[in-house]
Amino acid sequence: MRSLRLMAILLVVVWAVGPFIIPNLAQAATAGEINRDVRSALQNLYAKTPSAQVLGEKAKAILVFPNITKAGFIVGGQYGEGAMIRNGKIAGYYNTVAASYGLQAGIQKYGYALFLMTDSMLKYLNRSDGWELGVGPSVVVVDVGKAGGISTTTAQSDAYAFFFDQKGLMAGLGLQGTKITKIQK
CA distances to 66, 80, 130, 176 from 135, rounded to whole Å, are: 23, 20, 11, 8
CA distances to 56, 136, 154 from 179, rounded to whole Å, are: 22, 12, 28
Containing structural domain, residue 29: 2-183
Q: Tens digit of pLDDT per residue, the chain (185 long)?
A: 665 555 555 555 555 444 544 444 445 689 999 999 999 999 999 999 988 999 999 999 999 999 999 888 877 888 999 999 999 999 999 999 988 777 777 888 999 999 999 998 888 887 877 766 654 445 666 655 443 444 343 345 788 889 898 887 765 555 556 888 899 88
Question: What's this model's pTM, rounded to 2 decimal places?
Answer: 0.75
Report the C-alpha gap between 75 and 71 in whole angstroms: 9
- Domains in the chain, number: 1
Q: Cβ distance 64 to 95 under 8 Å?
A: no
Report the C-alpha gap between 135 and 10 in whole angstroms: 33
Residue 111: burial class (beta carbons within 10 Å; 0-12, 13-18, 19+): buried
